Amino acid sequence: MKDDMPTSANDKDANMWGMFVHLGIMAGYVVPVAGLLAPILIWQLKKDEYPIVDQHGKVVVNWILSSLIYIAISIPLMLIVVGVFLAAAVGIASVVFAIIGGLKANSGEVWPYPGSIAFFK
């Protein structure tokens, strides 16, 4: 969104909910499985009210599914130590990507996570 364009309260609310979708991933670090459920629930509840939340939800769910695949691949690779580093990288990327995605969502931008497989477009 450009700085010279006035933003309505509706746009600010949509951006806020988009940010919550991204930051919902980190709920899993507080309550197990909440990192999977919170973003999906927010996305499903708000996507009809705010179309941009639908775009953010797809980005986040694509990352959740991709990260689960990457973790599944890393488990057998832990036998040769490489999987430990892959699992750690996925964990760090999940936090960093959620923060970046949340900040960009709050400013009205949809940011696709790098390395994410596009299951939903």
pLDDT digit string (tens) for 14-55? 999 999 999 999 998 899 899 899 999 999 999 999 999 999
Give the number of other CB atoms < 10 A from CB of residue 108.
16
Query: What is the secondary structure of 8-46 as a DSSP string?
Result: -HHHHHHHHHHHHHHHGGGGGGTSTTHHHHHHHHHHHHH
Contact 65, 30 (CB under 8 A): no
Separation between Cα atoms, residue 16 and residue 11, nearest integer Å:
8
Q: What share of the chain has pLDDT > 90, as a percent?
A: 83
Q: Give pTM, 2 decimals.
A: 0.86
Q: What percent of the chain has pLDDT over 70?
A: 93
pLDDT, residue 5, reads 45
